[in-house]
Amino acid sequence: MNNVVLRLADLKDLELVKHLLQLYAYDFSEFTGADVGAETGLYQVMPDFNEYWDKLGSKSIHLIESEGQIAGFAMVKHKQENDSQQHVLSHFFVLRKYRLHGIGKLAAFRLFAAYSGEWGLCQLDSNVPAQRFWRKVIQAFTDGSYTERYENGRVYQSFSSK
């Protein structure tokens, strides 16, 4: 578990991330009901995917590696507002093989520590496993100093990282 590396993706990782997004969409379809395209057999790529590569600095993708193998990814949106830096964890995915081994928690801790400021993330109301995971991770990272609200079918958490 200690051999978890979080590295910033670059353009050479574009195809890798696209492939991982298919696995993410497949897992997530349990909660969204999304279908693959009839002609391609692939899930639709998220509408703002190219912005993660075009708007470097305002969006970032981090690959999660464990024991030298790809274990998942994290996608973050960054913005400066007034005097504070704000970060939104828009997508987080750990391959099934690496779940329940502490890899996601360690990757999340490293991600939150890498960017100081205000953090926000959310889960679909129907995605109870993700809600349990994030409550546990955020509770541990912040020592219980976070807020949570329910709005429009989603559970939102926010906290600070120093």
Does pTM top 0.85 for this prediction? Answer: yes
CB-CB contact of 94 with 33 (8 Å):
no
Domain that holds residue 78: 4-161
CB-CB contact of 149 with 123 (8 Å):
no
Residue 82's pLDDT is what?
80
Beta strand pairing call for 4-8 and 117-124 = unpaired
pLDDT digits (tens, 9 = 90+) for 50-83: 888 887 779 999 999 999 999 999 999 999 888 7
Residue 1's pLDDT is what?
55
Q: Residue-wise pLDDT tens for the chain (162 aa)? A: 568 999 999 999 999 999 999 999 999 999 989 999 989 999 998 888 988 888 777 999 999 999 999 999 999 999 988 878 899 999 999 999 999 999 999 999 999 999 999 999 999 999 999 999 999 999 999 999 999 999 999 999 999 998
Distance, CA of 133 to CA of 35 (rounded, Å): 25
Residue 111's pLDDT is what?
97
Question: Over the chain, what HEC string results?
Answer: CCCEEEEECCHHHHHHHHHHHHHHHHHHHHHHCCCCCCCCCCCCCCCCCCHHHHCECCEEEEEEEECCEEEEEEEEEEEEECCEEEEEEEEEEECHHHCCCCHHHHHHHHHHHHCCEEEEEEEECCCHHHHHHHHHHHHHHHCCCEEEEEECCEEEEEEEEC
Within 8 A by CB and 6+ apart from 3, the residues are 66, 67, 68
Distance, CA of 38 to CA of 28 (rounded, Å): 18
Distance, CA of 126 to CA of 30 (rounded, Å): 9
Residue 61's pLDDT is what?
96
Residue 27's pLDDT is what?
94
**At 26, which CATH number?**
3.40.630.30
Domain tally, the chain: 1
